[in-house]
Amino acid sequence: MSDRDIANQSGSRKFCFGIVVIILIVGYPLYFLARSGIRSYRLSSDGRITKAVVIDEKNFTGHSPVKQQFYYSYEFFVDGEAYRGNTNSQRFNVGDSVEIRYSISNPSYNEIADKSSD
């Protein structure tokens, strides 16, 4: 193998690596945008309101070692199966009953129904 062939292989590998990096940089955010859009669509098109109970499962925000802010999770049941979501609010306490909206086709898509008083 000549020096020229080795240089061409090296350049080809760098090019392929560059393409993979570009796909990841562009594809990763696009995936989350699409996922968020699908979730919003499902909640608005086939969403159902039900009651959930706030449980003692903490979802920590940020990375501060000094002030550890968290939100509690809630739990609800659909056809005997438990699903959980994040309240995303400090106004809820363990044991509170909350109204949530979930997607009939995919109950793992869920949210607090009334977010107006956050």
State how far the Cα of 74 lies from the Cα of 56, in Å rounded to an integer.
8
Q: Looking up tokens 């109950």, which residue turns up?
A: 107
Q: Is residue 14 part of a domain?
A: no
Are 98 and 73 in contact by the 8 Å Cβ rule? The answer is no
pLDDT at residue number 39? 82
Q: Is residue 118 part of a domain?
A: no
Q: Is residue 88 part of a domain?
A: yes
Mean pLDDT by 10 residues, the chain (118 residues): 54 82 82 75 90 94 79 96 94 95 94 74
DSSP state of 108: T
At residue 91, what are phi and psi to the nearest 5 degrees?
-80, -5
Q: Is residue 57 part of a domain?
A: yes
Residue span of the structural domain in which 108 resides: 48-112
- Number of domains observed in the structure of the chain: 1
Q: What is the dihedral of CA 7, 8, 14, 18, to 10 degrees?
A: 150
